[in-house]
Amino acid sequence: MGEKKEKVIDIRGRFDQELSEINYLLNGLKEGRVYGVNGNISQMDGSLQHYESELRKKISSLITKIEYGKESSTEKMMNELLKYDI
């Protein structure tokens, strides 16, 4: 068997918020929460075009953060909170 390699970066842990947002959109699609599909007339649910657009934006943003070593949403929030003496 192959040698088990150590994880270099914990993408799931570090970018949990971003991945949760993507997962929420994917679950909405899976559960049929799409306005105008299968008789769904709830305008609270996005259209298929909305889901597609949001997924593209969120995936692109996540890839950019990873490729360029930018802060995750959680890291950014924590750094902002550390600026205040609470």
Q: CA-to-CA distance for 46 and 84, rounded, in angstroms?
A: 37
Q: Specify the pLDDT at position 42.
A: 74
Q: CA-to-CA distance for 36 and 69, rounded, in angstroms?
A: 39
Element (H, E) at 58: helix 48-67
Q: In tens digits, what is the pLDDT along the chain, a chain of 86 residues?
A: 678 888 888 999 999 999 999 999 999 999 988 887 777 777 777 889 999 999 999 999 999 999 999 999 999 999 999 998 76
Cα separation values, 28 from 12, 34, 57, Å = 20, 7, 16
Cβ atoms of 47 and 33 closer than 8 Å: no
